Amino acid sequence: MKYYVIIFLYLAVSILLFNLNWELFTTYLNVDFGFGTFSTLPFLVLQVINGLILAGYMAWDRMTDLKREILISSLNKEILELQKDAEITKLKTVKSKVKNDISALESKKNNG
């Protein structure tokens, strides 16, 4: 959700700047790229490039968040398995203790 808020804020600021500086954004300038001269809207192109960079960063950040969430969920599963193993071990020790107590009581009963 935070990613959509960031992109909407960027769009809102861009639209505000576009409205406040209409003449600046609609001015065509000749830009020489080395292989030819093109007439472009440089500030509009700059806003689009910045938006693409922001979108790329957001995608990268989202992927790192997903990796972190996957790691956390796998660690939680491992913790649950270890807790279950600890419970099973505890139950086995209690079972063996109960068996020893029962056998001691039976031997006491038979001897007594």
Tell me how far apart the alpha carbons of residues 14 and 44 are, in angstroms, rounded to a whole number: 9
Chain-centroid distance, C-alpha 106: 60
Tens digits of per-residue pLDDT, 18-71?
Answer: 888 888 878 888 878 788 888 888 888 888 898 899 889 888 988 999 999 999
R_g of the chain, CA atoms, integer Å = 35
Q: What angle do CA 80, 85, 87 make, to 5 degrees?
A: 95
Q: Where are the domains of the chain?
A: 2-79
92-107 residues labelled b (16+ CB within 10 A) or e (exposed): eeeeeeeeeeeeeeee
pTM, full prediction: 0.60
- Whether 99 has a pLDDT exceeding 70, the answer reads yes
